Copies of this chain bind each other. A is one copy, B any other.
């Protein structure tokens, strides 16, 4: 069992404890000896580490993404802790508590899920209700849906993040569907609920949030379509046109090919879903980014993906 967390470490500590092996890279070719650069993490943070000895054996029997037991000593350089690792091996599965390694939403997962279910029950078409029943009664699905993150880094990158993002989107979709006449509320809300479900398999999130092999090779949009197709096949009354339109919501929700959608939105509801997704993920990404910055400064540091500094205001926010 894990006993000490990264945010408690001090230079000079010796320790033998569990961490997630987030990255492992062989350094090579600069001189005659190899060594390993590691990143170790738990739910409180991460720390760089290095292994000088027994490099080949250790490299062969551990793999990034695993929980490892690490023996080593903590040093420091310019305020960043660094570990020199002497021994490292995979932790026995029975001895791992996933909660030790990943951050979690601060909101109540079951409450969020209940609100989501209610929204799905408010739909008018019976076959759509049947579709969501099929999802909600699939225990593996629900268990994953309650845990999956919405991203690796950018926004909602924590256990329960996907649920949080999905709920926020669905509630917004509901509000906005009242604002415009002639909107197919059933389609818009169903699209909001299902748009990112491929992320259940695109990421791994047992002890570290990372892309799965399937995520990198097949992409969450395509995975999501397969998941929807599987459930729709169980509902004989499901109209073919609705199936296509629902898949189209998922396929097009990134808005353009450049952003990863094989087709751009071609219905008003798909256009709206894309706008809502962009707003919700962007607002949340900026809020998370701002919350980590020096509260004494009016401007945040540079946000690499969004390519700008953000203004926090003269009196802070």
Contacts and interface: CB of A to CB of B under 8 A. Distances in A.
A139 B287 CA distance: 41
B168 A175 contact: no
A64 B278 CA distance: 33
Contact of A241 (B50, B176, B313): B313
A219 interface: yes
A172 B179 contact: yes
Interface string A271-310: 1100110110011001100001111111101000011111
Interface residues of A, number: 96
A182 B229 CA distance: 36
Given A275-B279, A301-B25, A296 B31 contact: no
Given A217-B266, A266-B309, 19 more contacts: A8-B32, A10-B31, A24-B294, A30-B81, A50-B78, A63-B296, A63-B297, A172-B179, A213-B244, A217-B248, A217-B311, A222-B225, A222-B247, A266-B308, A266-B311, A267-B310, A271-B283, A272-B279, A276-B279
A9 B310 CA distance: 35
Interface stretch (A147-155, A157-165, A254-262): A254-262
B251 A218 contact: yes
What 10 A-B pairs come out closest when comparing CB atoms? A26-B294, A275-B279, A7-B32, A219-B262, A217-B248, A35-B79, A217-B244, A59-B296, A219-B263, A266-B311
Contact of A260 (B29, B257, B294): B257
A262 B251 CA distance: 10
Given A182-B287, A282-B271, A47 B31 contact: yes
A214 B244 contact: yes
A54 interface: no
Contacts of A112: none
A6 B25 contact: no
Contacts of A59: 294-296
A171 B80 CA distance: 48
B248 A308 contact: no
Contacts of A63: 296-297
27 contacts: A8-B32, A9-B32, A24-B294, A30-B45, A35-B79, A50-B79, A59-B295, A60-B296, A63-B296, A172-B179, A176-B279, A213-B241, A213-B298, A216-B311, A217-B244, A217-B251, A218-B225, A219-B262, A221-B262, A225-B225, A229-B229, A248-B311, A264-B306, A264-B308, A266-B310, A268-B286, A271-B282
Contact of A219 (B175, B251, B267): B251
